[in-house]
Structure 1
Amino acid sequence: MLQSVGHTEITGGTGTLSIRDITCESARIDAFDSHEQIFLGEDPSRGLKAIVAIHNTRLGPALGGTRIWPHETFDAALTDVLRLSRGMTLKAAISGLPFGGGKALIVADARTAKTPELLDAYAEMLLALKDRFWTAEDVGMTLADADYLRARTPNVSGTSSGGGGNPSPITAEGVFLGLKAAVEHRHGSEDLTGLKVAVQGLGAVGWALCERLHAAGAALIVADIDADRAGEATSEFGARKCAADAIHAADADIFAPCALGGMLNGNSIPELKAGIIAGSANNQLAREEDAVLLKESGILYAPDYVINSGGLINVAAELEPGGYEAEAAFARLRHIPETLADIFHRAEATGMTTNEVAEALALERIAAAS
């Protein structure tokens, strides 16, 4: 276990893992936002370069998924993990969970570079940080990967042995419930029959969301960087396929971003035709100011860290003293539409953006615990 801030090396497997505290160095990044600790783990012989960002632990130990993604530059990777880590702080707080916010990013292509050796090295890093950071699946990491890590270090949730399993279906269920809450707020009914929903990204969560939307009678427009995956959706759901770089501008009632973040920006927002945005992607807004653009455009935005909190709720349930209980996890999940309805009403009453209201609610809970 790491006992102090600084630098440590762990020799194991076929290489040497170096773990370095880069908190002070990271302060130059705009997304730093007073993170408590940031660690860089490197083991070149096993292909590991990983960042673990711990944003805020006032409510409890840091909890957040591990993303595997091949960013082109280290600064881009660092910015991504810092923004995600801060989002986890807000997500845990607004969900009423006894955890702080953290996130991890392995800089690699999950399709070609995710080897047992890389995962072994990362497990050693997690083991060294075990009292500071708990993790689970995210983009590029599967349930099998989480099980592999859990066999080597205790601070991994969302595993087969923990009872919660893959959190993606739970995340999708929360997004589906939140999307219906947005529809009810805007149209006075949560009935989705005939409404056109444009879904960007058909990964585990996006696909599971499509299943629920299709069953509810929505008409789907889909896009994914994997053309074959989009083709499968057209057959499975009777969906209309759209180019991945044009799905945001589709003629739809609802836009559900379920891919990577940052796609709601000064260029894309003027092209939106949907009156509601409700999807699972993290960090959907490129800048906080983009929430104002959405409001001025008359678009109802469901803050991402509220509507997509189902996965976190589920993996957190594994860490309860009595172990995982599905009904307790689903009880928290059912609060997502209630929380969103409250945010929508407060935003209308105050003139604030929905993002501002959500953040204020989360920060109030953190402040109360200080």
Structure 2
Amino acid sequence: MNFLYKLFSNSRSRDKENEMNYIVKGYPLTTSPVIPDILKYQVEYQRMDGKKDKPILALTLAHEGSDLVEPESLEVIRRVMQYWFKEYPELAKYFEKELPQNLLAVSFTHQNFQIGKESCHDFKLANGHKKAENSFYTYRKLSECVQCVYYNENGIEYIAGGCFYPAPHGKPKLLKSNDALMLFATSSQMKYPLCDRRKTSHFVNQKYYGRYCATAGKSVIVNFNSSDGIPRHWEYDHVAHKDEMILCKECCEDYFVYKWEEPKKDTCSIPADVPVTFAPAAAATCGSEAEPVSQADSTENLIGGFEKIEVNNEDAESDIDAELIA
């Protein structure tokens, strides 16, 4: 019995270390979603409408009474979604109580997108916006519990929405990291259609905006509400489990010299060379279709060639205390 316990504990520890490695390193960008193993238990798919009968929330469920996922992981989802839908009282009300144990995935949209009928990974333009010629969608897992969907148009990548999967029993929960990943995925992206960031609500009211920082090699949140008036970009350290405010020359210059210009309409649509996610995507030839990637049954099919990095961290999970941006 003691041998089996040690074997199981060592296996969980390796799983936790491997997942943290890929969270820090960044998962691959694909042209079709990665399908988590837990979705094989799906028996029901529910869409919920926001305003104007537009579906902006979807739940993927197993048989009622199923007990497949970790309650702590469900609590992270509940808290994030309650905040995300605070302007939609009917939807936010669903997340006031504990989520059911048969919940397999929660899908939610970003502004000007809606959820399709096919699956939890099906996202479409909404509010009268039409899909541009040669535009396409891409996908990236940020962790085993978080996957984002991006709409690519005229060489720019916009977040369409995301899927949040609770951690199955026996799998790493990484509560703080998954909480922070969802926050940064939704707050550090450019909104569709492209607009003057100085007129967005986050810029005006919360004094921050999202941008891709080439120096950092990923999307960051630029906060300009400091007492000294100097903007700093905001990142999350997944190893130390803390927010970091970093003085960055590139982000400073961008803040002070930024000038809004209407985007050109005749740019060919390609995957962005520096997408607004946590790892660079490969660019396609201008005017060509992105090479399709077959659906993967598990992340291991995608990350086999990734270079492993070392993360000196004995305990990657603890209590939920990361604050969401108001």
**TM-score normalised to the size of structure 1?**
0.27
Instruction: Name whichever structure is richer in helix by fraction.
Output: 1
* Larger RCO of the pair (alpha carbons < 8 Å, separation 6+): 2
**TM-score normalised to the size of structure 2?**
0.29
